[in-house]
Homo-oligomer: A and B are copies of this chain.
Amino acid sequence: MLLGALEAGGTKMVLAIGNENGEILEQISIPTETPDITLPKIIDYFKDKNIEALGIGSFGPIDLDRSSKTYGYITSTPKLPWINCDIAGILGKSLGIPVGFDTDVNGSALGEATWGSTKGLASSIYITIGTGVGVGVYQNGKLLHGMLHPEAGHVLLSRHPEDTFTGVCPYHAQCLEGLASGPSIEKRWGKKAYELGADHKAWEFEAYYIAQALVGYILTLSPHRIVLGGGVMHQTQLFPMVREQVTALINGYLKTPQLDDMDHYIVPAALNDNQGIMGCIKLALMELEENSRN
C-alpha cells in the first residue's frame, strides 16, 4: 500500500511516499512560501502517486477538534500567510483521499512509538529541541489532544542561578523554548550550538533547563519513556547530563523500574531524523483505519 506523508514546517515542506511498514520510497523537500504557491506544488507531487491516504504533521497551532468548523486548519500561526489555512481540507479534497492530521511533533512522537525507540510502549513523549521546542505525547495508540494540543515547549522554569540571559521567547521570561532552544543558545553565547565545545558552560545550563521540563512532564504525564530529538540534541554529551539532573530533581520521590534505568528512560530518537516523516506515514495509515471503522 502506498501512503503520502507531508511534514509541514515553517521554512520547508518535506514530502514523501512510503508504505505501511514505514519504509520511505521517495522523498523531496520544497521551501514553505505562501499557501497559494506551496499547496499547488504539494498537490502536483502527490496527485499521480497512487497513494491511498495522506498524513500531515504540521507546524501550528492547528485545529485538531474533529467537531470544529476549522478542523484541519493551521490557525493563529506567526507565519502570517498561513493563518486560517485549511491545509488538510484543501489537500484532501484536491487529492480525493483521506487525510490524517496532527502537529509536527506529535507526528515525531508517533513515528518513534511505531517504529523507533518507544515502539511497543503504552505511553511515551517526544521532545524536539531545535529552532523551537515542541512536545508530542503518545498514549495507548493515540496522540494527546485536548482543548488544543500540547504546547509544552513553553513550560515555565526556574532560572539557573548563574544565567543572566533574558531568553528569546516574546511571551515568557523563563520558558523552556526561551531559555534552551537553538536560537537562545546562539543569542546567549554569540555562537551556534555546534560551534561550542562539548565542555562549554552552555551545556550545564541546557541540561539544567531540559531536566526541569522533563521532571514536569514525568510528574504530569508519567510516560514509559522519553525521546529527545531536534538539532540541539545532536550534542550527545547532553544525554548523561540531563539524566543526572532529572534523577537529582526527582530526588527519590518516584520509584519505578524505568527511572532506575535512566539510560533507557531518556533516549535519543532512533529513526535518523526520519521520525517526523515516518510518523506522517502512520498518520495516513491511522486515518484509513479510522475511516474503515466509520
Contacts and interface: CB of A to CB of B under 8 A. Distances in A.
A30 interface: no
B254 A222 contact: no
Given A146-B123, A255-B76, A158 B174 contact: yes
Contacts of A224: 146-147
A61 B253 CA distance: 10
A105 interface: no
A147 B255 CA distance: 10
Interface in A93-124: 122-123
How many copies of this chain are found per oligomer?
A: 2
Nearest to A212: B156
Interface in A65-83: 75-76
A154 interface: yes
A258 B220 contact: no
A249 interface: yes
A122 B66 CA distance: 12
A223 B149 CA distance: 9
A37 B142 CA distance: 43
Nearest to A221: B146
A256 interface: yes
B253 A216 contact: no
B219 A146 contact: no
Given A122-B146, A146-B122, A146-B139, A151 B251 contact: no
A203 B253 CA distance: 27
A215 interface: yes
Contact of A155 (B76, B135, B216, B259): B216
A151 B171 CA distance: 28
A147 B223 contact: yes
A150 interface: yes
11 contacts: A122-B146, A123-B146, A144-B221, A146-B221, A147-B256, A148-B254, A152-B220, A154-B219, A157-B158, A171-B253, A221-B221
Given A155-B216, A216-B216, 10 more contacts: A123-B147, A139-B144, A144-B222, A147-B218, A150-B220, A152-B219, A154-B219, A171-B253, A172-B253, A221-B221
